[in-house]
Amino acid sequence: MLDIKNLNVYYGKTHVVRDLSLKVNDGEIVCIVGESGCGKSTALKSVLMLDKNASVTGGSIIFNGKDITKLNASQIRKVRGSKIAMVFQNAVLSMDPTKTIGSLFCETVRAHNKKAQKADCLKKAEDIMKKLRLWETERIFTSYPFELSGGMCQRIAIAAAMMNTPQLILADEPTSALDVTAQAQVIRLLKQVNKNFNTSMLIVTHNMGVAANLTDKTAVMYAGRIMETGSTDDIINNPSHPYTKALINAVPEMNGKIPEAIEGLPPEFNDDTAGCPFAPRCSMSKDLCYKKLPQKHILSESHAVYCNYCYI
Amino acid sequence: MCLLKVTGLTKTFKNKKDRVYALKGIDFSIKQGECLGLVGESGCGKSTAAEIIARLIKEDSGTIEFNGAYITSEKRLKCVGRDLQMVFQNPKDSFDPKYSLLESVMMGADSYRIYSKIELIKRAKELIKYVGLKESYMYKGIGGLSGGECQKASIARALICSPKLIIFDEATSALDVSVQAQIIDIMRRLKEEKGVSFLFITHDLALTSSICDNIAVMYSGRIVEYGKCRDVLCNPKHPYTKQLVSSVLPVNRRCDIPEFNALRDTQYAPKGCDYYAFCPNADEKCFKNVLHMFQIEGRSVLCCHADD
């Protein structure tokens, strides 16, 4: 359904996303994982052309047969919120503090259907919220975003994203600002949305637990490039790329395992090295890694890795 | 001997309309070289407890014994002085951006005047290396550092007076996994090499298991379960701890996220259990009885049904 091919994004002269290719099929949940500042969020925002400072210079984003990069502003606006909806990291800040949640729901519908009546919108919102097991709809509709807790707002943002029954939801770190209980609830809710409405999702996160428990496919990003893609089971249980392995080892677990830090720091975005961007921090790197950019190596039908050595 | 002993700490915040009971009497202690994890959901009073111990705010009642002296009645900050330091959640906000890294780290010792200038510079340089920051950053402005680097700098600043206890208030929550692992690594080295004690406040249970000796689970201003970290996480007794443990998403396998307990329609019971409204096995007894700490299997649990 969504097919990103060789996407390149620049902020001014800074090359942030490099040759990103990613596919999202019908009813699938795909996630992008990686450290802060590796270009995950930029890649996600460029799907809807949300960032004015970012310029998409190469590649294509095909959604239902149409190339989004070639649409003009008013055409994109028709796609935003109706076909593709977005859930942001900080839900409280993404809502207008001068409007109640009820009018937020109405506005979401009216942006694409001017004739919609308020009562119908609220009825629809109530149905969706009931399906997503959000009770107390009356109280929620009359509240302002700042009167509700962060976890509640995040769940409402997901319900609001569902108002126009989109085919695809983009979520940018939907659980990073929440504590563990609220996080588990939001993940449960996203799963329900996927099951009840067959909505596809593209999620950006740095939490490997979220990736492991929610998604079907995972792409690991580092310094603007994809390092490894595959089904989530493959990535978590059978990682190939040294970076994926290091990332999984850095996650603390309940059994008292000591998380292992990755030595060194991610490279600057303007660093145009010829070789693999991870080579300076990699425990396996050899001379070739500094000279040659790794090509895609297909390990199995659903699993591919960009590394010079680890596929051997 | 206990380094820090907290007994019956309470704190109420007054609002225009009503009162918020942030702490309803908590007790815990930390021995020299030990790490205590204080966990719980947002708004359960973890940070309030930390701020009271660091003398940033004043308590309503209760006592705190630190390093053999009662510090509760004393005036602010000076009494705990160089032996107790704090690392905050948002490192960028805890530094003045106009100073360089070296100056910022040295500033930690400013009010105590225990080192000469030359000694102080030498110490600061050593500590910056110890926490794993590049030497080239030394004279760079603190504003140019990333979030993780800034957090390491604030650990260096806390260490400059060689404190006995460091309070980490959600110090790793804003960082991503690999930087988080680096911070944990620094903490482990400090604990083993310098015998520093920690009060580690977090909502990430998995993180506590890799660093803490003891753990105290807080809910609504009370400690509901307190014991050895392994015991509590592997075999939780209190229904709230059970829920908290089941909310942690494991990495190596998929789990079924449990249905969350529905809110029971109830009024606030001043005597009864705070968790009554959400607890799956609550009954009349929980609503009316006065709460007692039960001692089971080497830990304390605040639940009427703990011994069932």
Model confidence over A106-125: pLDDT tens digits? 988 888 888 888 899 999 89
**Does residue A237 lie within any of the structural domains?**
yes
**Does residue A124 lie within any of the structural domains?**
yes
> Is pLDDT at B17 greater than 80 in this prediction?
no
**Does residue A311 lie within any of the structural domains?**
no
Residue A224 belongs to domain spanning: 2-306
Task: Please indicate whether, in this complex, the C-beta atoms of A237 and B252 are within 8 angstroms of each other.
Answer: yes
Min Cα distance B157 → chain A (Å) is 22
Percent pLDDT > 70 in chain B is: 92
d(CA A55, CA A296): 26
> Is pLDDT at B216 greater than 90 in this prediction?
yes
- Is B136 in CB contact (< 8 Å) with chain A? no
Scored b (16 or more CB within 10 A) or e, B90-121 reads: ebbebbeeeeebbbbbbebbeeeeebeeeebe
> Is pLDDT at B178 greater than 80 in this prediction?
yes
Higher-pLDDT residue of B280 and A190 is A190
Question: In the block, which residue shows the tokens 């083993």?
Answer: B192
d(CA B244, CA A53): 41
Which band of pLDDT confidence, cut at 50, 70 and 90, is reported for residue B75?
low
Strand, coil or helix: B274: helix
d(CA A205, CA B115): 45
Strand, coil or helix: B210: helix
φ/ψ of residue B118, rounded to 5: -65, -45
* pLDDT of amino acid A100: 92
Scored b (16 or more CB within 10 A) or e, A158-176 reads: bbbbbbbebbbbbbbbbbb
Model confidence over A66-79: pLDDT tens digits? 888 888 888 888 88
- Is B230 in CB contact (< 8 Å) with chain A? yes
Question: Are the C-beta atoms of residues B278 and B263 closer than 8 Å to each other?
Answer: yes
**Does residue A301 lie within any of the structural domains?**
yes
> Is pLDDT at B279 greater than 80 in this prediction?
no
Structure token digits, residue B174: 């804003």
Average pLDDT over residues B242-254: 80
Give the total number of structural domains in chain A.
Answer: 1
Task: Please indicate whether, in this complex, the C-beta atoms of B251 and A182 are within 8 angstroms of each other.
Answer: no
* pLDDT of amino acid B38: 92
Which band of pLDDT confidence, cut at 50, 70 and 90, is reported for residue B266?
very low
**Does residue A312 lie within any of the structural domains?**
no
Lowest-pLDDT range of A243-247, B9-13, B62-66, B247-251: B247-251
**Does residue A198 lie within any of the structural domains?**
yes
The residue among B134, B249, B275 with the most chain A CBs within 10 A of its CB, best to mutate, is B249
Nearest CA in chain A to B256: A213
Q: What is the mean pLDDT of chain B?
A: 83
Chain B positions touching A207 (Cβ under 8 A) are 177, 249
What are chain B's domains? 32-48+78-234 (3.40.50.300), 237-308 (no CATH)
Task: Please indicate whether, in this complex, the C-beta atoms of A247 and B41 are within 8 angstroms of each other.
Answer: no
Q: What is the CATH number of the domain that holds A133?
A: 3.40.50.300
Task: Please indicate whether, in this complex, the C-beta atoms of B210 and A182 are within 8 angstroms of each other.
Answer: no
Distance between start and end Cα atoms, chain A: 33
Q: How many CB pairs under 8 A join A and B?
A: 129
Min Cα distance B54 → chain A (Å) is 24
Question: Are the C-beta atoms of residues A210 and B176 closer than 8 Å to each other?
Answer: no
Which band of pLDDT confidence, cut at 50, 70 and 90, is reported for residue B76?
low
The segments of chain A whose pLDDT lies below 50 read none
Task: Please indicate whether, in this complex, the C-beta atoms of B233 and A37 are within 8 angstroms of each other.
Answer: no
Chain B positions touching A187 (Cβ under 8 A) are 249, 257
> Is pLDDT at B52 greater than 80 in this prediction?
yes
* pLDDT of amino acid A201: 92
* pLDDT of amino acid A281: 85
d(CA A232, CA A237): 8
